Amino acid sequence: MNTESLYDSLVTLLRSHSPELHDGSVTPQPDSQLADLGIDSLELLSLAVDMENEYDMTIDDSMLTPARTVSDLVRAIAHAHQQAQE
């Protein structure tokens, strides 16, 4: 999966977890704060389950816990992908 399609699919997942994005009228940006999207610590864990299933990978706690922005989630996915290949 290339970066662009990965980002698109991540946005789809974000919409299902974010009240702010749910109706599709707003598109999250890489620097969008997860808190501003209504994704708190518990919702982030729920999102992580969907991400692991969507991309069939295991996301490390060390990448997920500090995640604050959409970019952080992209990095967590990239890290998990790299870990899986090693």
Partner 1 sequence: MTNQVVITGVGCVSPFGAGLDALWQGLFSGRTPQPPTCFDGTGFRTAGVYEVPDDGQDAGTRPVRLARAAAEQALQEAGLTRTQVSSAGLALASTSAGWHLPGQSLGGEPVHMTEVLRKEWPAVVLASELGLRGPSAVLSSACAASTGAVSWAVERIRSGESSVMLVGAVDVITEVVLAGFNSMRLLTQHRTRPFAEDRDGFILAEGAAFMVMEEAGHAAARSALARARVLGWGASSDSTHLTTPDPVGIARSLRAALADAGRSPGQISVFYAHGTASAVNDRAESDAVLDVFVQESAPVTTAAIKSALGHAEGAAGMFAIVAAVEGLNRGKVPPVLGVERPDPATAHLMLADHQTSHPHGDVMVHASGFGGTNCTVLLGPAPSQGRDAPVGHRVPTRTRPPGIPVAVAAATATEAEAVARGFHPEWSPEGGPVPATPPRSPRPDQSCLLLSAAVAALLGGLPMTERHKMLRGGLLTGTEHGGQRHHARMHAGLRKRGARGVDPLDFALSTYNAPAAMTSIMLGFHGQTEAFLGATAGVEALVTGAWLIASGRVGGIVCAGWDAPENRLWAAPGAPSVPARATALALCPVGTDWEGAGVSLAGIAGVRRLSFAAHPASPEAFEEIAGQFNPGEPDMLVATGLAGQEADTLSGAGWTVLPPEGGAAAPLGAHVATIERIAAGQARDAIVVSTAASGATIAVHYTVIAAGRYE
Supply the minimum distance, in Å, between the C-beta of residue 37 and partner 1.
Answer: 10
**Binding residues vs partner 1 (CB under 8 A):** 19, 38-43, 45-46, 48-49, 52-53, 61, 64-65
Please state the φ and ψ torsions of residue 2, each to the nearest 5 degrees.
Answer: -80, 170
Please give the backbone phi and psi of residue 69, each rounded to the nearest 5 degrees, phi first. -125, 170
For the bound state, the minimum distance from the C-beta of residue 34 to partner 1, rounded and expressed in Å, comes to: 11
CA 61 to chain centre: 13
Of 3 and 19, which has the nearer Cβ to partner 1?
19
**Shortest Cβ 18–partner 1 spacing (Å):** 9
1 vs 49, beta carbon nearer partner 1: 49
Q: Residues near 44 by Cβ (< 8 Å), separated by ≥ 6? A: 34, 64, 67
Kindly tell me which of 4 and 61 has the beta carbon lying closer to partner 1. 61
Torsion sign across C-alpha atoms 45, 50, 51, 55: positive
